Structure formats: structure tokens, C-alpha cells
Amino acid sequence: MTLVTPQPLDVELVLMDFNRWNWCRTGEDEEMLVPHSEILEGPLPVQGPVAFDGTPPVEAPQPMEVVASTVENQAIEEPQVSRFTWAIENFSRQTNKKLYSDVFVVGGYKWRVLIFPKGNNVDHLSMYLDVADSSSLPYGWSRHAQFNLAVVNQIHSKFTVKKDTQHQFHARESDWGFTSFMPLSDLYDPGRGYLVNDTCIIEAEVAVKKVIDYWTYDSKKETGYVGLKNQGATCYMNSLLQTLYHIPYFRKAVYHMPTTENDMPSGSIPLALQSLFYKLQYNETSVATKELTKSFGWDTYDSFMQHDVQELNRVLCEKLEDKMKGTVVEGTIQKLFEGHHMNYIECVNVDFKSTRKESFYDLQLDVKGCRDVYASFDKYVEVERLEGDNKYHAEAHGLQDAKKGVLFIDFPPVLQLQLKRFEYDFTRDTMVKINDRYEFPLELDLDRENGKYLSPDADKSVRNLYTLHSVLVHSGGVHGGHYYAYIRPILSDNWFKFDDERVTKEDMKRALEEQYGGEEELPQTNPGYNNAPFKFTKYSNAYMLVYIRESDKDKIICDVDEKDIAEHLRIRLKKEQEEKENKRRYKAQAHLYTIIKVARDANLLEQIGKDIYFDLVDHDKVHSFRIQKQTPFNQFKEEVAKEFGVPVQFQRFWIWAKRQNHTYRPNRPLTALEETQSVGQLREVSSKNQNAELKLFLEIEIGPDLHPIPPPDKSKEDILLFFKLYDPEKEELRYVGRFFVKSSSKPTEIILKLNERAGFSQDEEIELYEEIKFEPCVMCERLDKRTSFRSSQIEDGDIICFQKLRKAEEKYRYPDVPSFLEYVKNRQIVHFRSLDRPKEDDFCLELSKLHTYDDVVERVAQKLNLDDPSKIRLTPHNCYSQQPKPHPVKYRAAEHLLDMLVHYNQVSDILYYEVLDIPLPELQCLKTLKVAFHPVNKEEPVIHNIRLPKQSTVGDVLDEIKSKVTLSHENAELRLLEVFYHKIYKIFPLTEKIENINDQYWTLRAEEIPEEEKNLGPQDRLIHVYHFTKEAAQNQMQVQNFGEPFFLIIHENETLADVKVRIQKKLEVPDEEFSKWKFAFLSLGRPEYLQDSDVVSNRFQRRDVYGAWEQYLGLEHSDTTPKRSFTANQNRHSFEKPVKIYN
């Protein structure tokens, strides 16, 4: 069922421009939106919402009832704000990768919701708002929408998952939303309330406004400044770089960092930053940041991972500080950004005071509960009382009442204030963005109220009066957004907005007041409706502030010109600019010129048998001329004479033609009339495509004295043929020249001439073949030597291949021309890697794409000196993840080698192999399970590969394990558990068939059943116990489980104190460490901490066993287990990586 609920308001949202968040960049100046994923799996997507496996959008049939009006019957203009409801029935049985909702209209625009029910290559539901008619909208369209998407909890509405954001949609960003909307485990858990009667209800609230078109905007012309190109999700970096660049003292210091002409920007952070700053200073158009991110050691994945601008600021400054050591600019970072504060604790009743001086490069200021920057500083220096249970231990004085606080010793010339817009909300158990109104002044006086923020040791002669230089803005929500900056470069009244590639002039109100955050109320324009006014939160607000001290501004805002830039850098960058300008000019003037590519016999001789085997030449590797279109062709011939040393009178040019069979051959010589035309006219004769090149073959005849001679006269009877010689013994094909034949003559008449060209004896018998085509398959047919060329339909430009007549006793791999060309067409060098070492090539084999499965494994077995090829198992390669595919090739399931190499639209050249201990056909009749056995004595788990017939049961598996391990006693019973992400999800019944058990994603664990569990009392409970810690990831505080989960019996009226004793004994944890552990009852992922006196059984429902997703006893403590980059059989969470600069 689909509902569209219009709000009775005619509203216009404040114009806010939002740029890229997730981008795929196909070239320096070319960008396309992708459905937002961090690890690409599948081919690079095309524009618009396309699944990553390359499948086109599927309009899945949905059992929807349209209650309100849809697009087809919309009669009146929709209001600007609407709520849309989409009920999806049979949700868990959906097989399509993606689903689209019905189209609904808001603000006269067509929208729809796009979801990926099984996740867009992540283990979360993925959901986006999509412009329904993006493909049919006119060029340059754009629209702005503020919206939220929700999955309704149909049991408890307070648990409805709702996420909001805003975005400016246009042709290259026609969908926007959340790749990791909510975990699939939560969505599909029937007890959570998101699926009721297998129906999922999705809601979207959308408010829109048309925006100004900036497609033709010229930043340099309008503002004098240029922007930075977004590489994928690098807007956070762009805003920071613009801020640092517009601190001239910093820019000058970067210019003075030592670099040499031998350095490469992609390998030198100082040179890359110098290059970037130089281009920002002197370029006319926006500047790319690829060299800089390469110098950081980042790959494409890093460019698509959005990070925190505050974190990048710290990491970059630390890296530059390190790079500046030992240079003339050593200490610049400290001089600009370093301040000091004093942490103190002062006893109230005794004369004792402890102080500690610390430095800072930026200050973290609270936003929550503070109306402005001054309130945050007040809170920063607020005195904390240490009294009662929290008394301070003052060395010889023992426990004492004390005052604890922070005061500033000195502030830096450039003060960076990081506003704490993100914080953990304990009531909601998640990270939230604080969009509260928070004011910041144009002038900041930190000497206010008699220097209340300063320590007694502060230098009172320094006037700490600051003026605002820049405001970095975060626009969006906790799950994603966009960064840009408002900067006044010379501290005048002129503010500029630096938003990736675009720079605009802005007024002070936009830079200050409109970035305070808070809420805005839109006026009610339909008083006939009894609705509350529409309020919306302003999601764009200041995130970082940069102030410059008034007394230092003349030093900080200094002149930076070319003399500050190293000469080698100026030369290098000016040369780059000239090359770029030449390319631009070349491109701009392209319509005035024609590119003429001239192929000669020398090119054919050089390429055939080496670079190419089919046709005659690769035109990209021949000499090209760039000639003005109006140039007479005869004048062009003079250019050719100069270049090749062939006088004009000895030149004859042939036009190439593409035949219907897709081959490309010289078709006919130019006529005398055509040679009087301009090259532009001649190009039009050869191709109607305006941008096509003119391709010519230059026929040159060489006389006995090896000098050019005039070309022979050509009549209609004369045919120009090209000849290739094949040697089956050497498996070589080479070009041996061309000559004219009479169409009425027969091949027998040219045998002597061909033998001479080949270096054969005059009476050598040869076979002739015509090379006809090679796409989609090779066609090379024997030429009847007794039939005339005309009868064999031979014409100008045809290719004749020949070889010695085969003798019966001669045995060759490819005995004739057709078999050799077939081999060349299908040959494939395959790199084989052991599945255990998937990053290393073991060996290479030259195979044919037409080789059968048996051919391939036989060749691999030969290489490995293995007698039985059936023990080889192959696994294909995933071209996009650069990893083995999850499933190997079944025995003889792939007909040809090509079937094993194709991945979507790409052909790989990698296969992985395993050597099995039994033949693959036999193995495929068995089921292999990887089971981790956990001994009672706390020894490390041992992995056992259990191989049994597929019809075996779990009981058979446990019997097999018993035969391999040492048990605590001979009558011990085992059980098999399914463990996933450190939680127990299932105890397998002994009778369950193993055929359907999946050990690819779940860990199978075998363990002894404790005797006490076999004799449960009527009031005893068997509960799950898991280790956990709380971590902030992707701006959310999440419970992270770790370690080995286990079962525990709890008895009626047993307190936590009693349970703790048994847990400590079971886990053998030392007292000191165990005292730090916390214990919590967790339900639906939310911890409720327990006290020693709490009766544990009261927290758990009265069932024998609980699912891991319901409730468990949590042990909170630090995770001391060694971290691994990837754990087998455990999918990795896609949490945001920390910012790292590797070089």
C-alpha cells in the first residue's frame, strides 16, 4: 500500500547548496554519481542508480495500492512538503537486488524511494531518495530537497529508525541517501518489529525548492579565487586546504620547505602541497588534489571514504611539523597554532597545589548547553570540586577537598576552535549531531572579565583579541554530509564561500548568523488548515572556527609572491601550465584541423607478427600529421616529403575503408582530382564523422638502386594484395610485402615471386590462404591456386597468407595458417596463484580461451608434476575486489577457459588453484565443515576439517571430532554451535543434516557439554554470556562484542555477586583485572548495568535458551585479544577508518 500525505503548506526552503558525498571519478574533469558504496564490487557504475553487478534497474512488481494520487492522475500542483508511505509485502522473499517505490510528487517534482533489501554490498539495508524522471529532464536541471527516510517499527514506534539529510540533486547526483541505513540483522529479526506479517513499512518526508543553476559559473572571474576538485568524498579535505592556504604565513612556510627538481609530487608531501598552493594562487580554473592524496599514500578507496575534518587537521599538521624539522621553516606549525594551558589541582584546606603544563594546536569546545563561544570557554575553565567520595589524594596530606580546573598560559596567533557538534547520546545509545544554535563573534576577546581564562603565569602584555578568519561548515547529519568553508582571506568585510570547485561571494550574515544552527520556522500560508507551523532543523552549521590575533594579523596576512616559490618549482609548474594550456588550445582549435595518419610498408613490417596478427596495421602507432583543414592536399604531400624523404612525384596515397566484416583495408588510391582538394574536404570523403581522422596508406615503389621510383599505372584489372608468411615450425607470422596482380590471373602465376619474397627455393610448393576476418571469429580460407583472383572474389587491400606445403611426417602444434590465427585469437596468458597465497603469482601458462576444463587442469597438473589432474580445484578471480571468488569451479562445470575468466563484462587473467587430497568429483559428493573445537582446559581452539557424505548428521560430525580430540572424560558429550560476530546463534540438533550447514560466514564451534547443564533444576536458567566494549564508529557509539561467547546457568535468587564468582573461576581472570569489569543485562543491544545485589534471573525471560539477538549477560572490559586485519568466516563491519597519512 502506498500513501502520499501532503502537508497543507506552500513553503520554500532556504537555499542551501550541497555537493558531493560519494563520487566515482572517471577522469580529471569527469565525475559520475554512484549508488553510495565504500568497497566497490562489480563494474564501475554508469550514471544514475545502477546496481554494482551491472544489472539494470528492476521495476519489481509490488502489491501496492495507491490510496492518494500518483503521477498519472495528478491534477493539481503538489504542495512543497509531503509524507510518502510505502508498505512492502512479502519483504523477506524479495529476490530483486533493488526495489523502487511508486512515483510521488513533491513541489512539482517526481520522486521515488530506492531500497536494496539485502544491502548495497554491505550488511545493512540501503535506502535512497531518487529523482524518478532524471533521465528525461532537460540539461542543467537541479533541485534541492530536505528529507528523512524511515523504517517504521510496527510494535514500538519509538524504535522507528529515521535518518535525515538534505541534498542538491542534479544529473550527476540523481539519488541520495544511506548505504548503511540499518543492520539487516535488526531488520529481518521478527522480534524487533520492523517486519510484521512479512511487511515492511517505509516512510519518506520530503521538502523541496528549486535552486539557481551554477553550471556555467566562473569562480576566478567572479571572485578572483579558484576551488578544489572533489575526488570522491574529499570535500572535508578541500575545505581544510582552502583554510590553510588562505593563511599566507602558512602558505609561505610551505613554499620554503626544501624540495628538488628530482622530486615527484606524488611521492613528496611538501612538493605536492607546494604544487597545490601554487595552482590555487595562479590557476584560472579549479585545481585537482590527486597528486596530494597520492603523496599521502592514499588509494582510490581512501578518496571515497569521508573523514572528519578536525581529525585530518591534526594528522596533517603533525605530518608537516615532522617534515619541517631540520629545515629553514622548522617550528612554523608551533609558531602559528600552538598554545599552552595549565591543568591544576589545588587543595582547599592545606597548602598544596599540583600543576601540569600542556600544549594544544586546537581547542575542543562544547556546543551542547552553550549558547556561544564565550559560554564554551566558561565551561572549559569551570572549576570542579573534588570532595566527598571524590576527594583528592595530596601526597603527604592524604585525601583532601580540592579544586580542579584548567587555565590558559598563552593562546596562539592562529586559534583553531573545533566545535563538538557530534556527541554520544546515552538515552538513545547512539552518536548524534548537535544542531543547536551556537553563536560565535566576529571579534573574540579572550582577555574579557579581567582575564578570567588566563593563568597567573600568563603574559598580560599580550592582547588576546581575535578576529574571525574562516568558518568550516558541516552540512548534513551524523551518517553523512558535506563540508565547505566561509573565508575572508585578507580579513576585510568580503567573505567567500569555498565549496569544492565553486567559489562565491557571500555576505557576513551568511558566513556567521546562518551557520549558528538551530531551528527555523516557515510561515503558515494555509490558515484554513489547523496545522502546526512547519519547523525544520538547520543541518548546516559551523564545525570549526579559525581566529587570527589582531596583534599578529599583519605578520600572518603577509604578501606571498613568486619570489617565495623555489625556482625549480616555478619552472616545473609553469611548464605544467603551458602544457595544460597547449592541450586546451589544441582542443579548442581541433575543429580547424584534420589529423592525418599515414601508414607505410615500414609500419606493416614492424607490427605484423609482433604487435598485431590480424589486418595490417595499428593506426595509433603510425606517424600522424596535424594539418589545417583548408590546406590543399598537394601542399600536405610536401610535408610528407620532408618527413619521410620521399619526393612528391613518387607518392601515391590510398584511402582506408572499414568493410562490413569489420576489417580495415586500403580501398583505393586517391584520384588526381581528389588530390587538388583540401585535406578537410578529403576527410569528409573518407568519413562523415566530424571528429574522424583521415587514414591513408602511402604506396612507395623502390627501384633496383633502392631509391624511390614512380608508382606503376593502375588499371581496373590491377589488384593490390598484401602478403604474410607463416612458419609452423617457429610459429611465426611476418609481413613480406605487397604487389599488384591481374584480377584475371591465377595464384599459380605468383608462386615464384612469393618463394623469392620468402627466401624459398623456386620450386618450393606452397599453400595460400585468404585472411577474411577475425571478429567475432576467425575466418581464413584456403585459396584455390588454379582459380583466378576475380573468381575467388579477391580485391584491392586483401591479405594473402602463405606457407610451405605440409608434409605428412611433420607434426606441429599449429600446422597451418587458420589454426595459428585461431590460436592467436584465443590465446590467453593465465597467472595461477595458490589459493593459500592469493596475492602472489606462482606460475603462468599460455592457454587458449577455447581450452576445455580438462585441458586446463591437465596443463596445471603437468606444471605441478601431479599425476591426477582431477585433484586440481580452480577458483575464479573477482576483477573488482582483486580477491578469489567465494565459490570454486565445480568439476567440469565450466565448458571453456573463457567461462572461468569472465567476471561481468571483464576478462580476468588470474586463476587460483588448490591441490586436493582426493579427486574433485569425489570431494563434491562430500561435505567439508571447518569446526573449531574448544577444549575444557582453556587451551587454544583447534580447527578440524571434517569431511563426511552430504547426508550425514551433526551427530556424525561430533563422533568424528571425538575420534580426533582428547576429552575430559570418556563419557563426555559434545554439542555443535553456530557463532557469528562473537555471539551464539544456534545449537545444532544432533539429527540435523550437514548438507545445508554453511561454514563460509558462520563459525562452527564444538565443545563439551558441562555436567551441570545436563541436570538443570526447574528454576535454573541457561543464559548467553558475551564480552563487549563500547566503541565510537561512524559517529555512533555501538556495542562491540569480542572474544568467545559461552553459556552459563543461573539459579533462582542468585545475585550478580554470586554469578561473578563463578564467571571469574570459569574464565580464570586475575582479581586485579576482574575488578575493572562491568556487568550488564543487554536487550536489543542496549546495556542496563547491574549491581552486585541484583538478582540476575529476574532480568531474563523464563525460557530454556535465548536467541543471541534477544538478551544476554554482557561482560564489559577492554579487548586485549590481538587484532587481525581480517578474520576468516567473519564479515567485517564497514566502519570509518581513521585518517592516516602514510608517507
Q: Under a CB-based contact definition with an 8 Å cutoff, are residues 1036 and 431 in contact?
A: yes
Query: Whole-angstrom Cα distance, residue 289 to residue 914?
Result: 43
**Residue 277 cell numbers, joined:** 598552493
Alpha helices, H only, 325-455: 332-337, 373-380, 448-451
* 635 class by beta-carbon count within 10 Å (0-12 exposed, 13-18 middle, 19+ buried): middle
Indicate if 801 belongs to the active site: no
CA distance 741 to 359: 90
The three-state secondary structure class of 440 is coil
Count the neighbouring beta carbons within 10 Å of the beta carbon of residue 263: 18
> Is 844 a residue of the active site?
no
DSSP state for residue 120 in the 8-state scheme = S
| DSSP designation for 620 | G
DSSP string, 841-883: --EEEEEETT-BHHHHHHHHHHHTT-S-GGGEEEE-EETTTTE
Write the DSSP assignment of 556-612 as a string of letters: HS----GGGS-HHHHHHHHHHHHHHHHHHHHHHTGGGEEEEEEE-HHHHHHHBTTTB
3-state DSSP call for residue 73? helix
| 470: helix, strand or coil | strand
Grid cell listed for 1049: 546457568
C-alpha cell at position 500: 569544492
- Rounded CA separation 25/232 (Å): 7
Cα of first residue to Cα of last residue in the chain, in angstroms, is 55
CA dihedral 889, 895, 898, 903 (to 10 degrees): -50
Integer Cα distance of 208 and 7 in angstroms: 12
**CA 667 – CA 306 distance, rounded (Å):** 56
Identify whether the C-beta of residue 896 lies closer than 8 Å to the C-beta of residue 849. yes
Which of 482, 851, 982, 1024 is catalytic? The answer is: 482
Q: How many residues does the chain have?
A: 1143
- Cα(1128)–Cα(1116) distance, rounded to whole angstroms? 25
Can you give the C-alpha Rg of the chain in angstroms? 38
Segments in 887-1007 forming alpha helices (H): 897-901, 920-923, 954-962
Among 36, 144, 200, 235, the one annotated catalytic: 235
d(CA 1028, CA 1041): 4
**Residue in this structure with the C-alpha cell 609561505, named with its chain if needed:** 252
**DSSP class of residue 778?**
-
3-state secondary structure of 828: strand
Q: What are 14's three cell numbers?
A: 532556504
Largest CA distance in the chain: 123
Complete DSSP assignment for 305-359 = S---HHHHHHHHHHHHHHHHTTSTTTTHHHHHH-EEEEEEEEESSSS-EEEEEEE
Residues 365/374, Cβ–Cβ less than 8 Å? no
Residues tagged active-site: 235, 482
